[in-house]
Amino acid sequence: MLSAGVAVFILTGALLAVQRLASAPLPISYPIVLVIKVGLGVWMFVLARRAGTNASIGALRVPIPWQLAGIGVVIYGLAIALRAIYEDAIRA
Ligand code: HEM
């Protein structure tokens, strides 16, 4: 089962993606950055799930949360880039 938080990310992300892609002709950079962002998101969800189920394994306990935090920060950066690309495209 997906956690409620992950389900919300996927649902809102899918809605935003459909809305953005249908609303205007976007530069090729938009889908490229979007695919990278979604890929990192899925990677983060997989690592988070593993950290949860394997929390008793000492070797995994410390590295994974830092890795997760790092990936999360990169995803927020990509979301900001997507917004900039999108706003630029609809302004033109
Ligand atoms: C894996 C499923 C995900 C999909 C399909 C997805 C997709 C999207 C799309 C299409 C946008 C709109 C960008 C734009 O044109 O303005 C967006 C925005 C955003 N996403 Fe995601 N995303 C996902 C996961 C995540 C995760 C895991 C995070 C956080 C770590 C995140 C954080 C954000 C933020 C902060 C925004 C900006 C919202 C705004 O400015 O209105 N997303 N996402």
Is the pLDDT assigned to residue 57 strictly greater than 60? Answer: no
Ligand 1 mean position, distance from CA 62 (Å): 26
Pocket lining: 17 vs ligand 1, CB cutoff 6 Å: yes
Compute the average pLDDT of residues 3-30.
Answer: 96
Q: Which contacts (CB < 8 Å, 24+ apart) does range 83-90 have?
A: 85/26, 85/27, 85/29, 85/30, 85/33, 86/20, 86/24, 86/26, 86/30, 89/24, 89/25, 89/26, 89/27, 89/30, 90/23, 90/24
Both tokens of 17, joined, read: 């993606």
The residue nearest atom 18 of ligand 1, judged by CA position, is 79
What average pLDDT does range 26-49 have in this prediction? 95
pLDDT over threshold 70, residue 43: yes
